[in-house]
């Protein structure tokens, strides 16, 4: 292991490769394998204290640490951006503790850790997408008892999930849930892709990449293996729909992408731009331009 390479001042000699000790990684890998074997099932794991607060992606970081190797190339995004505080600090963490190469280009990464978004660039077989999950239990909203939710999963009692959607329609006239939108994985487990916007739900369906989910505070890991069926719950008369944006990206002109609203001044000025910065930059480099392109 390069981490033990004495004399190299750049590497903190006291840390194991990817920070976690090998026993912990094996424990997490076992949980991951179980999660992959039972798609959508929440596998408990002995989440460790990480050198960052809960809510900063401790679950995703542990999953990444357990699967990353010296040959991997890592991309980290928060929302869709590579350049936010959270994304940068996690990327630096792995740069320092593993020395692996990092990238912002979706197509070049072998592992992508994300807090919300699934990149706009379609993923390919062999890539791994690691989600940071705050609350893995989709039934929690209606059933606070963990013993009860586990039984409900075991017996496929998912009626309450529709109660939540029913409430949405009764209140707003349509299903207003825009993120953490529940899905059924491989026709069996109802899973919360939180806090992914529902815009990205269809991308989970039969995705060639492996999708891993880590919830550090809640100590749960689950997985969606490549090419798995992922169906968003809905009603016959209120079918699942993704958000539609009524304008293209102001910078690259892309349509059918997830947009962020950016406030540009304190006089009400605003613009809508791609949430996926890599996608946006690449398109601009290819010559696409939106109405406010620099």
Catalytic residues: 40, 249, 252, 274, 280
Q: Please state whether beta strands 259-263 and 189-191 pair in parallel, antiparallel, or not at all (unpaired).
A: unpaired
CB of 218 to another protein, least distance (A): 21
Nearer to another protein, 192 or 278 (CB): 192
Of residues 227 through 256, those in contact with another protein by CB under 8 A are: 234-238
Q: Where are the alpha helices (DSSP H) in 191-235?
A: 201-204
Q: Does 140 interact with another protein (rule: CB under 8 A)?
A: no
Output the smallest distance, CB 187 to another protein, in A. 14
All residues at 6 or more sequence positions from 80 whose CB lies less than 8 Å from its CB, including other chains: 116, 117, 119, 120, 258, 260, 274, 275, 276, 277, 278, 279
Taking CB under 8 A as the rule, does residue 135 contact another protein? Answer: no
Give the angle subtended at the CA of 223 by the CAs of 217 and 229, to the nearest 5°.
Answer: 140
Nearer to another protein, 148 or 291 (CB): 148
Region of 23-31, 41-49, 71-79, 161-169 interacting with another protein (CB under 8 A): 161-169
The rounded Cα 198 to chain-centroid distance in angstroms is: 12
DSSP SS3 for 29: helix
Q: How far apart are CA 226 and CA 282, in angstroms?
A: 26
Sign, CA dihedral 88-91-95-101, equals negative
Helices (H), 74-229: 85-98, 146-154, 159-172, 201-204
**Nearest distance from C-beta of residue 175 to another protein, angstroms:** 9
Site string (179-218) toward another protein, x via CB under 8 A: ----------------------------------------
Alpha helices in the chain (DSSP H): 22-37, 58-67, 85-98, 146-154, 159-172, 201-204, 277-285
Residues contacting another protein: total by CB under 8 A: 19
**Distance between CA atoms of residues 29 and 100, nearest Å:** 19
Applying CB under 8 A, which of residues 10, 14, 23, 170 lies at the interface with another protein? Answer: 170
Q: Shortest Cβ distance from residue 197 to another protein (Å)? A: 23
Q: In whole angstroms, how close is the CB of 138 to another protein at the nearest point?
A: 14
Q: Is 147 in the site for another protein (CB under 8 A)?
A: no
* Helix, coil or strand: residue 76: strand
Residue 71 touching another protein (CB under 8 A): no
Note whether 145 binds another protein by CB under 8 A.
no
- Binding of another protein by 162 (CB under 8 A): yes
Least Å distance, CB 181 to another protein, is: 16
Task: Candidates 125, 163, 176, 262: give the one binding another protein (CB under 8 A).
Answer: 163
CA distance 214 to 150: 18
Residue 95 makes contact with another protein by CB under 8 A: no
Residues at the contact surface with another protein, assessed by CB under 8 A: 142, 151, 155, 157, 159-160, 162-164, 166-167, 169-171, 234-238
């Amino acid at each position: 292991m390069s981490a033990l390479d004495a004399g190299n001042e750049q590497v903190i000699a006291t840390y194991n490769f990817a920070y976690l000790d090998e026993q912990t990684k094996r424990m997490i890998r076992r949980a991951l394998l179980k999660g992959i074997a039972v798609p959508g099932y929440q596998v408990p794991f002995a989440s460790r204290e990480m050198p960052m607060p809960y809510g900063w992606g401790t679950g995703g970081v542990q999953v990444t640490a357990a699967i990353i190797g010296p040959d991997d190339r890592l991309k980290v995004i928060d929302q869709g951006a590579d350049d936010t505080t959270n994304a940068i600090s996690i990327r630096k963490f792995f740069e320092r503790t593993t020395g692996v190469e990092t990238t912002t280009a979706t197509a070049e990464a072998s592992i992508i850790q994300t807090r919300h978004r699934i990149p706009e660039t379609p993923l390919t077989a062999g890539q791994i997408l690691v989600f940071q999950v705050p609350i893995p239990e989709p039934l929690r909203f209606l059933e606070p008892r963990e013993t009860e939710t586990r039984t409900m999963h075991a017996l496929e009692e998912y009626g309450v999930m529709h109660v939540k959607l029913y409430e949405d329609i009764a209140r707003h006239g349509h299903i207003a849930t825009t993120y953490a939108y529940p899905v059924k994985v491989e026709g069996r487990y109802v899973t919360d892709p939180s806090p992914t916007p529902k815009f990205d739900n269809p991308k989970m369906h039969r995705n060639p990449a492996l999708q891993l989910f880590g919830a550090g505070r809640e100590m749960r890991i689950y997985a969606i293996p490549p090419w798995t069926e992922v169906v968003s719950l809905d009603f016959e008369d209120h079918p699942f729909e993704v958000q539609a944006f009524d304008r293209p990206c102001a910078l690259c002109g892309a349509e059918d992408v997830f947009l962020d609203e950016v406030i540009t001044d304190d006089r009400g000025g605003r613009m809508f731009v791609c949430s996926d910065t890599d996608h946006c930059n690449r398109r601009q480099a290819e010559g696409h331009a939106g109405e406010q392109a620099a």
